[in-house]
Amino acid sequence: MGISFSRAVFAHLLIANRPFFKKSESFFEPGPDHQKEHSSYFHLESHGIEGPIKTVYSKQYGASHSHWHPTLHKLGIETNRSHFSGSNVGAWTSLTSVDPASRKRSYSAVEYYAPNASRPNLVVLTGAIAREIMLENKGKFWRAIGVKFVAGGVEFRAKASRETIVCAGSVQSPQLLELSGIGIPEILKAANIETKVTNLNVGENFQEHMSA
């Protein structure tokens, strides 16, 4: 269960990236009784149903959960009945990445890596640190063509033929974008980094959320 306060920029980014979120997810709906008892509300159109990562509401909750939504209602915070639809403001019961059949955690290693581990064109390099997203100037826009990274004290460059996915978490993802010249010009200039793409949202508006 969680409560989160966010700004309009979060909603914009969530809506823009929703097709990619849905692509990764297989959502299992809770029944009417579960929704009523645990406030596990949802909008199905905001969820994916064919992705490798399985998401489901927990079967059971601690005793305090029954007081979670009513208590916040008394504080003027309403239940958000669809916190995956573009705004997570309000009180809501959170999903878990768990296989509903086995009740085991569903995550990238078992759902993405394990089924493809034997592919000859797949290499997972551990202990490497990404330093910069390589960008190519295409006139009106910049195109990501790969990444610079360091492994064993040596810098390497990996070229991408189709796409480059930045997945370094909520702190290091914006850091990597800024190191690559994507962000707020004043901040990049102070760090002696050439601004390639101006984006006033990179590294801004980050807020920790309260949870219980």
**pLDDT tens track for 65-113:** 999 999 999 999 999 999 888 888 899 999 999 999 999 999 999 999 9
DSSP helix/strand/coil, 32: helix
pTM: 0.73
Identify the residue with better confidence: 140 or 187. Answer: 187
List % helix, strand, coil for the chain (3-state, nearest 5). Answer: 30, 25, 45
In the structure encoding, which two tokens stand for residue 147, read together? Answer: 């990444």
Residues 106-128 pLDDT 10s: 999 999 999 999 999 998 999 99
Average per-residue pLDDT for the chain: 89
Identify the residue with better confidence: 170 or 183. Answer: 183
Would you place residue 7 in the very low, low, confident or very high pLDDT band (cuts 50, 70, 90)?
Answer: very low
Q: What is the pLDDT of residue 2?
A: 36
The distance from CA 98 to its chain's CA centroid, rounded to whole angstroms, is: 17
Residues 148-175 pLDDT 10s: 999 999 999 999 988 888 989 889 999 9
